[in-house]
């Protein structure tokens, strides 16, 4: 019996969707909504840089962003399969979607490591 990689990608999809649903609204409120409504002062560049200084914060942010990319890749893959009925391009679509998520995750890692 051939082993499928589908459970791995479903797990990445689920983790990315869950983290995005819980964390992104909180991040958006703290960084954009609260300062725009005058509830808090906007963070300065120096404050943001000090927040991103610890390695564990950068690693956590990278995990969050990477899982969001894989969530997008999985959702887009099945949108193309089911919505546009492109099931005959199964391998190509999977390679493009998950390859794109991997490439974007590597770009995010590079950006966070060289952020200054």
State residue 2's pLDDT score: 76
* Calpha distance 56→40 (Å, rounded): 26
CATH 3.40.50.300 fits 7-113, yes or no: no
pTM over the 0.85 mark: no
| CB-count exposure of residue 70 (10 Å: 0-12, 13-18, 19+) | buried
Domain borders along the chain are 7-113
State residue 22's pLDDT score: 92
Q: How far is CA 33 from CA 29, 36, 45, in A?
A: 5, 5, 17
State residue 116's pLDDT score: 65
Matching residue, tokens 């995010």: 108
User: Mind listing the pLDDT tens digit for each residue in 47-102?
Assistant: 988 988 999 999 999 999 999 999 999 999 888 888 888 878 888 988 999 999 99
Q: pLDDT class for 26, splitting at 50, 70, 90?
A: very high
State residue 85's pLDDT score: 80
């Amino acid at each position: 019996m051939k082993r499928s990689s589908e459970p791995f990608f479903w797990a990445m999809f689920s983790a990315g969707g869950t983290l995005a649903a819980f964390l992104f609204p909180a991040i958006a409120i703290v960084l954009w909504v609260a300062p725009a409504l005058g509830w808090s002062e906007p963070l300065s560049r120096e404050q943001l840089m000090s927040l991103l200084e610890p390695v564990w914060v950068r690693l956590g942010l990278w995990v969050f962003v990477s899982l969001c990319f894989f969530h997008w890749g999985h959702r887009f893959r099945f949108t193309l399969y089911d919505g546009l009925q492109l099931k005959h391009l199964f391998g190509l679509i999977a390679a493009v979607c998950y390859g794109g998520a991997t490439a974007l995750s590597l770009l995010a890692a590079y950006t966070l490591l060289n952020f200054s």
